[in-house]
Amino acid sequence: ETGRRLLIAGNWKMNGLRASSQALARAIVEGAKALPASVELAVFPPFTLTAEIGALLTDSPVRLGAQDCRSEKSGAFTGDIAAPMLADLGVTHVILGHSERRRYHDETDQIISAKAEAALEAGLVPVLCIGETAEERDSGRAYETLSNQIARGVPAGFRGVIAYEPVWAIGTGRTASSDDIAQTTAHIRDSLAAHLQTGDNLPPILYGGSVTARDAASILAIETVGGVLVGGASLKADSFLAIAQGA
Ligand code: PEP
């Protein structure tokens, strides 16, 4: 135990109807009781479930997250959700710039930076995702890609969390190796320090990409890793809690 706090974040993506999601949240709340205070759990249900999952998390240390927000506070943006609306429901964390948002909603680093500013202004903790594609990695441009995403997508004065999610590892069952994660998160840390012009109080860096209970402990033992962002394995309470137990 290094005294680090670790965040175990469950991104439910576009999954879950009311009954099964409530059962999942209840089981996570129950399992969280056995975890040390240094381990923080957060769940990120789809917007349709934010309020009712939030109600189940009241009086629990499990944090309530959302999967996106818009940068404006209100207005004529049909179908979008603003950061103050999330804060109003007790949301504390918001995922921004997930590779699926970048891909399917054409989100750019500039858009993501503006969303992060809006989230911070609303009192939310942005969990800002960065990550290289397989092609960028194979052509030796992974670090350059990550540095560019940081330079363009992380606003000045950023106080949040960065999630390193290599696109080739998300939902593929191809977890990055511990060596890769250690080296890449060290690069990200240096890049954040240069960009934010601060040596201390750097944002924690999560790893995400096919994390399972099998590899969670070795990933969470890496000094530059501040937790994990979990997709598929967060949809079952047992596997999500087993990942947290690896912390
Ligand atoms: C994610 O989408 O944030 C993620 C890490 O997914 P998975 O764990 O399923 O790879």
pLDDT in tens, 8-66: 999 999 999 999 999 999 999 999 999 999 999 999 999 999 999 999 999 999 999 99
Burial of 59 from C-beta contacts in 10 A (0-12 / 13-18 / 19+): exposed
Q: What are phi and psi of 86, to 5 degrees?
A: -70, -45
Q: What is the pLDDT of residue 1?
A: 44
Cα(132) to ligand 1 centroid in Å equals 14
Whether pLDDT at 173 is above 50: yes
User: Does residue 187 have an active-site annotation?
Assistant: no
Helix (H), strand (E) at residue 126: strand 125-130
Q: Which ranges of the chain would DSSP assign to H, the alpha helix?
A: 18-32, 50-57, 83-88, 99-104, 109-121, 134-138, 142-153, 178-196, 213-220, 237-245
Q: From the alpha carbon of 234, which atom of ligand 1 is closest?
A: 8
Catalytic choice (40, 93, 98, 107): 98
Q: Are strands 63-66 and 205-208 parallel, antiparallel or unpaired?
A: unpaired
For residues 115-142, average pLDDT: 98
Which pair of structure tokens corresponds to residue 175? 């977890």
Q: How far from the centroid of its chain's Cα atoms is residue 184's Cα?
A: 17
Cα(246) to ligand 1 centroid in Å equals 17
Cα(89) to ligand 1 centroid in Å equals 25
Whether pLDDT at 171 is above 70: yes
For residues 201-217, average pLDDT: 96
- Which residue among 165, 234, 239 is best mutated to probe the pocket of ligand 1, counting the most ligand atoms within 8 A of its Cβ? 165
User: Does residue 98 have an active-site annotation?
Assistant: yes
Q: What is the pLDDT of residue 199?
A: 79
- Is 216 within 8 Å of 227 (Cβ atoms)? no
For residues 127-156, average pLDDT: 98
Q: Is 43 in the pocket of ligand 1 (CB under 6 A)?
A: no
Catalytic choice (40, 132, 136, 165): 165
- Among residues of the chain, what percentage have pLDDT more than 90? 96
Q: From the alpha carbon of 169, which atom of ligand 1 is closest?
A: 10
Q: Is 96 in the pocket of ligand 1 (CB under 6 A)?
A: no
Using pLDDT thresholds of 50, 70 and 90, give the confidence band for residue 189: very high
For residues 111-127, average pLDDT: 98
Q: What is the pLDDT of residue 2?
A: 53
Q: What is the pLDDT of residue 200?
A: 81
- Mean pLDDT, the chain, integer: 97
* pLDDT, tens digit (0-9, with 9 covering 90-100), for 71-99: 999 999 999 999 999 999 999 999 999 99
For residues 100-112, average pLDDT: 98
- Is 247 within 8 Å of 226 (Cβ atoms)? no
Q: Say how far apart CA 176 and CA 225 lie, in whole Å.
A: 13
Q: What is the pLDDT of residue 96?
A: 98
Whether pLDDT at 104 is above 50: yes
Q: Say how far apart CA 8 and CA 207 lie, in whole Å.
A: 10
Q: Residues at the annotated binding site? A: 11-13, 171, 210, 231-232
**pTM of the predicted structure, to 2 decimals:** 0.97
Q: Is 227 in the pocket of ligand 1 (CB under 6 A)?
A: no
Helix (H), strand (E) at residue 205: strand 205-208
Q: From the alpha carbon of 211, which atom of ligand 1 is closest?
A: 8
Q: Whose CA is nearest to atom 6 of ligand 1?
A: 231
Q: Is 229 in the pocket of ligand 1 (CB under 6 A)?
A: yes
Q: Say how far apart CA 192 and CA 202 lie, in whole Å.
A: 7
At residue 87, the 3 state secondary structure works out as helix
Q: Say how far apart CA 75 and CA 118 lie, in whole Å.
A: 14
